[in-house]
Chains A and B, each alone.
Chain A
Amino acid sequence: MGHEHKLEIFRGLWKFKSNVTKIWGVFFFLCFVTAIEVYLGIVKPEFLIQERFLAMKYLNWIFIILTLVKAYYITWDFMHMRDELMGLRRSVVWTAVFLICYLILILLIEGDYIYEVYKSNYVKFNF
């Protein structure tokens, strides 16, 4: 393939002059996101722990979304997915995303069901 790189991230909000500066820009962005994660992980703000959305604390949603953001920039800019053809991009990303979502959905629902069985039925386990 040619060695042209798309030199803008955040949908053109942040443009770079060369591929090298883009790499450093993405690096600082990833560090920034990690710093937010670590900060929230240590502080654990009260209001993010109390409330839940879809059976998960707000804080955990934030962690997972930030992780996906990091994964996106690692794949798109470090693995050069941004510069590949749409066909390659979709066959890699859609396959993985579909299968992983399906697997997680099934296993987590099943795990929670077993927890309820242990907790509220006649299985004695607390000794």
Chain B
Amino acid sequence: MEATVAKTGTEGKTWGGGNRPLNASYGKLMMWFFIVSDALTFSGFIAAYGFSRFKFIDAWPIADEVFTHVPFLHGVPAPMYYVAFMTLVLIFSSVTMVLAVDAGHRMQKKKVIWYMFFTIIGGAVFVGSQAWEWATFIKGDYGAVETKGGKILQFLDTDGERASVTDFAIAIPTERGTHEEKNGIWYVQEPETQTTVSYQEVLKGFEANPNLLIRSQELVPNMEKLREKAENNPKVAAEITRLEREYINLDKPGEKAIYSREVGLAKLKADGKLVVQGANLKHNEYGHPLFANFFFFITGFHGFHVFSGVVINIIIFFNVIIGTYEKRKSYEMVEKVGLYWHFVDLVWVFVFTFFYLV
């Protein structure tokens, strides 16, 4: 363990260095310093996510409606299975890492090489899965209409199942001419990604199909408790009147409220602005755009950690192969990298809980 430390000639004296009050080497302690500060960074992000979620608790997307896809199983709703798989991959790569550390303690070079190799593969599988998850989230599935106030209106059929805007929208033939340079000074590019159907087409389809309903972003309150409160509070009584006028599923507290057909149609007509398909940093068909922002930022930051972890693991992997630590007579470097790798796993455990479960 002292192979990388230069001798100063003052060993053994009180201030001569070499004391280890915490019984851990300098490098390992520094790794712990880094991990604590990085943990605080991540908890800052996750706490900010919680803040925004509590602020817009109604409009927050339902996680197991968002992540329902598994590769190669197109159209089969399977909430959470894929992300559970990703979690297991990461935990498993953590296990091979700690096995590599253990083999390092016993100076078994061959074993360290193999365990490091499996760890790297696990990390790569995880990053790939995350890329796929992002792509699916960006693509979206049912589509929705965004109102002028930034609310999301989602469509349901008579069974309460989600209806896709591309299925019921009625095409309105329009010509999309290109705005060319010769036609104006302000030659601008297309502002945003085009959706496959327009708001007008969705509205027309909704009017033509009487079986469709609209789901709002409001959560159904506990009506019994509200009625108790309403007895001596006219404001609450007015709120109850509004809820009963607008929504048809007030018997299901905690669920997203569904507009009656008439109210829904009126809302769509008066407030609708544009069609949203999938999610990006500005629009999100599943609910509040902040959900997408935090999802991209936090899983992206975590994915970047996994990526750098894989790169560092590859460097150490080759160091093991060429026998660097055999010469040093200590595999402590593997242990330090292992600490980082486990930390990445640890963060994912929390990301998994707060993005997919809670």
Contacts and interface: CB of A to CB of B under 8 A. Distances in A.
Contact of B54 (A3, A77, A111): A111
Nearest to A77: B98
A27 B21 contact: no
Interface centre among B51, B271, B356 (most CB of A within 10 A): B51
B55 A115 contact: yes
A69 to B, nearest CB: 10
Contact of A111 (B52, B346, B352): B52
A104 B40 contact: no
A44 to B, nearest CB: 8
Contact of A27 (B64, B92, B343, B352): B92
Given A100-B43, A115-B57, A127 B148 contact: yes
A63 B84 contact: no
B52 A127 contact: no
Contact of A67 (B81, B254, B349): B349
A126 B43 contact: no
Nearest to A62: B357
Given A74-B345, A111-B53, A24 B95 contact: yes
Contacts of B322: none
Interface centre among A20, A37, A38, A88 (most CB of B within 10 A): A38
B105 A3 contact: yes
Contact of B94 (A35, A67, A78, A95): A78
Contact of B343 (A23, A41, A79, A100): A79
Nearest to A85: B23
A48 interface: no
A1 B29 CA distance: 12
Nearest to B216: A126
A24 to B, nearest CB: 7
B149 A115 contact: no
B91 A127 contact: no
A96 B36 contact: yes
B255 to A, nearest CB: 10
B24 A71 contact: no
Nearest to A49: B254
B272 to A, nearest CB: 11
Given A38-B84, A63-B353, A111 B24 contact: no
A103 to B, nearest CB: 5
A107 B50 CA distance: 7
B266 interface: no
Given A23-B98, A79-B343, A115-B55, A67 B353 contact: yes
B99 A41 contact: no
Interface string A59-102: 01001100100110011011110001101100010011001100
B114 interface: no
Contacts of A24: 95
B102 interface: yes
Interface string B341-354: 01101100110110
B147 interface: yes
Contacts of B92: 27
Contacts of A67: 349-350, 352-353
Given A74-B345, A127-B149, A27 B95 contact: yes
8 contacts: A35-B84, A42-B79, A74-B345, A80-B335, A96-B40, A96-B43, A100-B40, A115-B57
Interface of B: 21-25, 29, 32, 35-36, 39-40, 43-44, 47-48, 50-57, 64, 79-81, 84, 87-88, 91-92, 94-95, 97-99, 101-102, 105, 147-149, 151, 218, 254, 271, 335, 338-339, 342-343, 345-346, 349-350, 352-353, 356-358
5 tightest Cβ-Cβ pairs between the two chains A and B: A111-B54, A127-B149, A107-B51, A111-B51, A67-B353
